[in-house]
Amino acid sequence: MTVQESYAGIKYEIRKRTQAKRMSLKVSHDGRVWVSVPMRASLKDARSFMEKNIAFVQATLDKVAAERSQKTLEKPNAPLEVLVEGEWLRLMIAPGEKFTMNISHDSDGILALQSRHLLITVPSEKISSEENAHSAAMQYWRYTMIHRANEILPTRTLALAESFGEPVRRIAVKDQKSLWGSCVKARRSVNLNWRCILFPPPVLDYLIIHELAHLRQANHSQAYWQQVEAWCPTYKESEKWLKANGRRIMALTA
């Protein structure tokens, strides 16, 4: 259950979750605010929790606004980059008859880059300005990556689940703004953010394993992390990569 609220001029959501054991508050990189509470908690308790933490929320929103403003100032002189299989590549745009991307598939269906940059051709009529060309190229790149995510993520998830003897009934690829993935143990369903397709293959496998492990342990207890390590001994390296690149990926694809 999700309820829209506002306090001190700040809009936020109250989200009741069966997985939540206690109340928590989060401010996302794009300025959205929400309070997650257990199902048993009342809306009054959630509002009170928000009010008590309003100073933290405001300070975090100010920080987010400052970071976004700085990125805007830096953007004209910064090289444009996109992410493919965990590698940040310089984006180059050229006019053409139709959209194309210099990415080819090898015999295993894995993306193979022809150079250290990514060249996207954009129909000439869409290049009325540098800004329009960039916007069109990014939209095409995003569309291509989402299509690839829908092709690969469910297949890879099923393969890993079968190797662990962990049946999955449903796999969905979603456009989540703050989560890489989620699962519902009772329904044995797994949701994956399409942006996971941008990760290096080992990090992608870890993220899938992270959700599959929740089908056995619906929490982040010691037993849960032991299960993750049993299936993915190098998971801590993947966690470091996500910490280093996660916010940049979300900002790039917002």
Confidence of residue 110 (pLDDT cuts 50, 70, 90): very low
Query: What does the pLDDT read at residue 103?
Result: 53
What pTM value is reported for the model? Answer: 0.65
Superfamily name and number for 153-252: Metalloproteases ("zincins"), catalytic domain (3.30.2010.10)
User: Greatest CA span in the chain, whole angstroms?
Assistant: 58
CA–CA dist 91, 118 (Å, integer): 5
**From residue 21, how far is each of 13, 24, 139, 184 by CA, in Å?**
18, 9, 39, 15
Confidence of residue 94 (pLDDT cuts 50, 70, 90): confident
CA–CA dist 197, 146 (Å, integer): 8
In the predicted structure, residue 70 carries a pLDDT above the cut 70? no
CA–CA dist 251, 238 (Å, integer): 20
For CATH 3.30.2010.10, the residue range(s) in the chain are: 153-252
The string of pLDDT tens digits covering residues 155-168 is 999 999 999 999 99
Query: What does the pLDDT read at residue 163?
Result: 95
